[in-house]
Amino acid sequence: MKSPNKKINELVQYLPEKDKNIALKLIAKRDFNSLKELVDSCIKKIEKTTNTEEYINKFASLDLDKIYELAGIIVDYLLLIGDFEEQIEDEY
């Protein structure tokens, strides 16, 4: 079984190029909360533009299931390291 870090690094490759470069920098800094926000933002943008020309031009070639998987693994990792609960408490 692969470690969460290895799985995250593998799945980052499915992000759009611009987001991929930012994600790699966040991983290097171990800023997984910001990485989660980046991936969530990417998902929202893809979902928002579905069935538009922007989607066809920018996102149609992306594997959205892999990006969803990446988002889930990041949340699992944040829970594992105990950082996600603090973020939830800050929001409420």
- Per residue of the chain (92 residues), what is the pLDDT tens digit? 688 889 999 999 999 999 999 999 999 999 999 999 999 999 999 998 888 887 778 888 899 999 999 999 999 999 988 876 544 445 54
Domain ranges within the chain, ordered by starting residue: 4-91
| CB neighbour burial string for 47-65, b if at least 16 within 10 angstroms, e if fewer | eebeeeeebeebbeebeee
53: tokens are 């020309």
For residue 40, the tally of other CB atoms under 10 A from its CB is 14
Q: What is the pTM of this model?
A: 0.82
How much helix, strand and coil, in percent to the nearest 5, is found in the chain? 80, 0, 20
